[in-house]
Structure 1
């Protein structure tokens, strides 16, 4: 019997208020703003009557309908799949694909969890050596076509915790190590794939080297893969022997889309 394990974070507009003030402008990445219309309340009743040309007293069971209006929502909201276009206009020597260029068969892949928690540290790089140690612990190496899910432990934090934004991050070298082994989907339980923005900005300011800026994502320019961020519930998975479906909304010509990510575990 197959168990379905949801790896998707809930898009709750209440989370927008938990962002620190300096990140308030990024609220659309956390969750959409949602206007709720309940069938028993005025907005749901008024909408029903407006569309159907009736009065409140005419409504069946005395109620309208439930509906919601979503706004201020990024294509990179919550658990989402990055298309190659997010990293640059080219990927692997070809024009970068958008989210609607990716076939469903490319988004249903064998999963491999690499648990780097014993070695990874806040706001520091996840190294190739850490990935190799995690593969050894998992008892399986990355194989061509794998979806590699990096378990950093960040899912234990909420938006109210400062540690949420101090994730261990992947670098160009560690990202390319996985794609060169054949991984086509790269997932993480952290808010971002790379080191925190502040850490990258400081490294650039100190050394003047632009290659330190967003180098994990920029590695996709060299070798195509799809990055998935803000996964949850990785602790419910075995290290391997399961399939994962990453099913993004079909947003035409976009660089990413929110997705429902589900593991299929026998």
Structure 2
């Protein structure tokens, strides 16, 4: 594997190399914008309905110490799966990577964005299909091996309205969820034929809301492909040409973790 990050001549460039040298991508910082693809964590953060708790921030100290200087510190508590976070492959696939096992090179890659907002506006349960991938590739070229594939549904505009975002706000209930995402056949194509390093979506799950068998989770997990959920600002990224950096907390043996996800995109 070649180096992921090279030096920055004149502090102007970041270079990212994926599995094939031909797919190397250089980002010129002078002509790029940095896009935050993450929701903040706070009392309004949306978690999977079966989680018994949400994000909790406890102030430990805020003010001046006996030494006369200001000091501020908190403690936080959070389930793994809520807000902008990563699903480790082992979340739904036994003996695959846990959160701390995921190689860094899988998390820093050129990204493609597939926009299905026109279809999700008509169907809240829309699932990305192989035909959508074929149509995207006809317009933009083949998805490069090792890329990060992000699915833009437009759902992040509903955040943090829990009912609008999930389709239901009943605590602990998952039988009436409605939101779009990847479909199983599309996920199988992406991992088996495009060898993606990561997939992500601006909804609560890489499976559609009504799913009860979680085939997308199981498919990508078996292939050691992580998933990013609850992304935002995908409308600020082009179909091709962005570089995504997804940095989850390095929780040893975790099934997932909160993540700060950013992208470098052409201005």
- Residue 106 of structure 1: CA displacement? 1.8
| Structure 1 match to 2:68 | 60
SS in 2 for 1:66: strand
CA distance in 2, matches of 1:33, 1:101: 27
- Residue 24 of structure 1: CA displacement? 7.7
* Unpaired segments ≥5 residues, structure 2: 1-29, 167-177
Q: TM-score, normalised by structure 1?
A: 0.76
| Structure 2 match to 1:5 | 35
For the aligned residues, what is the CA RMSD?
A: 2.3
Paired residues for 1:69-108 under 5 Å: 69-71=75-77, 73-89=78-94, 95-108=95-108
Q: Deviations over 1:150-179 (max 9, x none)?
A: 001101102325331121132321111111
| Structure 1 match to 2:62 | 39
Q: Higher strand share goes to which structure? A: 2
- Residue 141 of structure 1: CA displacement? 2.5
SS in 2 for 1:247: strand
| Structure 1 match to 2:129 | 127
Q: TM-score, normalised by structure 2?
A: 0.76
Paired residues for 1:1-266 under 5 Å: 1=30, 2-13=32-43, 15=44, 23=49, 25-28=51-54, 32-37=55-60, 39-40=62-63, 48=65, 58-60=66-68, 64-71=70-77, 73-89=78-94, 95-120=95-120, 121-137=123-139, 139-160=140-161, 162-165=163-166, 166-180=178-192, 181-196=194-209, 199-201=210-212, 213-266=213-266
- Larger of the two Rg values belongs to structure: 1
CA distance in 1, matches of 2:73, 2:216: 39
CA distance in 1, matches of 2:257, 2:49: 21
- Residue 25 of structure 1: CA displacement? 4.2
Q: Residues 119 and 130 of structure 1 are in contact (CA less than 8 Å); yes or no, is this contact kept in structure 2?
A: no
Q: Deviations over 1:101-147 (max 9, x none)?
A: 1221221000100101122320232222223223444x132110100
- The verdict on how the C-alpha distance between 1:136 and 1:154 changes in structure 2, with shifts beyond 3 A counting, is farther
Q: Deviations over 1:153-212 (max 9, x none)?
A: 10110232533112113232111111122211101011111121xx234xxxxxxxxxxx
* Unpaired segments ≥5 residues, structure 1: 49-57, 90-94, 202-212
- Residue 38 of structure 1: CA displacement? 5.4
CA distance in 1, matches of 2:50, 2:199: 27
- 4+ residue runs over 3 A deviation: 22-27, 134-137
| Structure 2 match to 1:54 | none
SS in 1 for 2:259: strand
